[in-house]
Amino acid sequence: MPPDPFKELVSVLEMRMTGNAAKAVAGVPCELGTITATGIKLDKFKHEIQDYLLADWLVKMYLPDFSITGTQSGLKDSLGGAVTGTATFEFEASIIDQVRLELKTGLKPGDRVLAVPVNGGQDAVIVAKVVS
C-alpha cells in the first residue's frame, strides 16, 4: 500500500504550526511549480503531474473593526416608502471559527504555486499560491 500523501502533509504542517519551523523545513522537498491547463509542472521535475492534490485549510479568522460605504436598497421607512442611497456599514471586531480557504477556485494556468512532492514524486500537494 503506498504511503498516504495527506499523512505526510499533515505531519509537516503540525511540526511547523507547533513552532518547530526550522525542523519542519529541513529535508522537506518543497518545490515551486506552475499550474498548466491540465495539471501542474514542478520546476525540477520534467513531467507534468495531472492528478495533483490541494491542501485544505480550515482556519480561525480575526477581523478588526472596519466600515464599508456603499449603496443600499430594499429598506422601508416608517410609512413603507423605499429608502435608497449611500450608506456606511460599521462592523465590530470579531473572530470567526472554521473558515475554509478554497485554493482550487483561485488557481489558473500560469499561476505559481508551492508544492510538496509525495509518493516518491508521483504526486504533488499544492499548499499555497505564490505571488510576488
Name the CATH superfamily, with its identifier, for domain 1-55+103-132.
Answer: Nucleic acid-binding proteins (2.40.50.140)
The predicted-structure confidence for 30-88, as pLDDT tens digits, reads as follows 899 999 999 999 998 888 898 899 988 889 999 999 999 999 888 899 999 998 999 99
CATH code 2.40.50.140 region(s) in the chain: 1-55+103-132
Rounded Cα distance, 45 and 116, in Å: 12
The three three-digit cell numbers of residue 67, written as one number: 466600515
Of how many residues is the chain composed? 132
| Confidence class for position 9, pLDDT limits 50, 70, 90 | low
